[in-house]
Amino acid sequence: MEEIKSIVAKNIAELRQIHNMTQLELAEKLNYSDKTVSKWERAESSPDISVLLEIAALFGVTIDYLVKAEHTEEAMLSSKTEEKRYNRKVIAYISESVGWIIALFAFIITTLILQGMAFQFLYFVYALPVVLIVKLVFNSIWFNPRHNYYIISLLMWSVFAAVQITFLYFGINVSLIYLAGVAGQIVIVLWSFISKPKK
């Protein structure tokens, strides 16, 4: 039993490192504390079968992979998972760049058609919140949901900045809206503490 515990500990640690994940990140994905993950990796305790299933699914391996010292086909499965993660990152980056490309085309077309007008820079101001929304969607689906708090913060501040810049273009100063941003940031920080890991 102790030998299997050590093998599971070694495999969890290796898979976590292969996927460039900290103990805290793995713990958050499994809804456990990082101390628990640390105990698993030191073979002081072992996750139960339902958690092993979650870990196997998370890393794209089988239960056999987690409980065996030698790996053959499963190692290939792990490399395919890494390739899938890479492809997802590329898809996410391409999707995010679409917002900037659309803003660039709009800028070029309206600059050529409406010569003498100077509002075209606003396309790039509005593109930032759109790109951040796309980033938030992909991060929620494929990546670490814990990073959503940072993305939401950036999204909120970019929306406030877009509003202020738009009003400044028309000669109206609405810099007081940043007070609402401070309140919003406090809510986001408090919201990040709602989900607590299991003990």
Least trusted range by pLDDT, from 101-105, 145-149, 151-155, 158-162: 145-149
CATH 1.10.260.40 positions along the chain are 2-71
**pLDDT at position 199, please?**
44
Does domain 2-71 fall under CATH 1.10.3720.10? My reply is no
60 or 82, greater pLDDT: 60
Q: How many Cβ atoms sit within 10 Å of the Cβ of residue 182?
A: 8
Burial pattern 12-38, b for ≥16 Cβ within 10 A else e, equals bbebbeebebebebbbbbbebbeebbe
Q: Taking all residues of the chain, what is their mean pLDDT, rounded to a whole number?
A: 85
Q: Which residues contact 120 (CB under 8 A, 6 or more apart)?
A: 106, 107, 110, 111, 114
pLDDT in tens, 77-128: 555 566 667 788 889 899 999 999 999 999 999 888 887 777 888 999 999 9
User: Is 43:53 a contact under the CB 8 Å cutoff?
Assistant: no
**pLDDT at position 159, please?**
94
**pLDDT at position 187, please?**
92
Q: Give the whole-angstrom CA distance, residue 35 versus residue 111.
A: 57
**pLDDT at position 21, please?**
87
pLDDT in tens, 17-38: 888 889 988 888 888 888 999 9
